[in-house]
Amino acid sequence: MVPMAQDDPHPESVITFGDDDGAGTESARQRFLRGLARDRRLPVLVAGLGAVAAFGSLISEWQTTTIDGLMFDADGLGVETILLTRLLDLGGVGGGYLGGLSLVAVTIVLTLFGPAPGRPYARLAGFALGGVLLALIMALVQHLNTTSVMIPQYYTAELDSMRMAHGRGLWCALAAVVAALITLWLGPRATGTPQKSVETVQNDHDDPLDLSITPAAPFARFPGELDQPHRS
């Protein structure tokens, strides 16, 4: 008589070697992204791309104003005229952008290559300056889309066929500021500075002090009888 098999509380498990194609692709992608995030050269690379974009914003046009019929050729036909707006044509706004960009560049250099105690403060200052520059550029996007910098507003009423468009300098400036903020965010990874959590910092301060009490000789001696007053 063959005994009946009892239910095994631990069912057999199937052992497989290797991953499926989809799982293997996902795992490889995750490993690549994790390794890329830990690469110390990534912040320097992003900073270099931001520097190229910032240089492009300095030499490229920020706005193009197209006017039809402003000038006429020999046959009396209207000729299309395109006016380019450079960074220097923006006046005080351009000066503010140039000054803010210089300060952000200084904070990035201090964050990546400066002394360790001052890097967190330079990073915070860079975030603040980068946020202000980003707000300034976003305001310029709306302003340059509706108002021509090269032609005053009281002349625009006589020009019916006038079109404004954003130039490459505006988009280069936006890319430069975004790259600067990303570089500041990745700054601690480039320097290898460990980021401690709040609990770790509190635990470091809560550690007991190592104090030891040992007998020591008195710092002043009183010769003579103990019942006599002290004489210096």
Which is it for the CA torsion 88, 93, 97, 99, positive or negative?
A: positive
Contact (Cβ atoms closer than 8 angstroms) between residue 63 and residue 148:
yes
Q: Provide the pLDDT for residue 197.
A: 44
Q: Provide the pLDDT for residue 179.
A: 95
Give the CATH architecture of domain 40-189.
Up-down Bundle (1.20)
Tokens 């009281």 found at = 154
Q: Tell me the two tokens of residue 151.
A: 């032609």
pTM above threshold 0.85: no
Which is it for the CA torsion 128, 129, 132, 137, positive or negative?
A: negative
Q: Provide the pLDDT for residue 198.
A: 42
Q: Provide the pLDDT for residue 72.
A: 56
Q: Provide the pLDDT for residue 13.
A: 52
Contact (Cβ atoms closer than 8 angstroms) between residue 90 and residue 149:
yes
How much is the mean pLDDT over the chain?
75
pLDDT along the chain (232 residues), means of 10: 51 51 59 68 90 94 80 58 86 92 94 90 94 93 83 62 85 95 83 51 51 64 58 54
139 SS3 class: helix
Q: Provide the pLDDT for residue 201.
A: 42
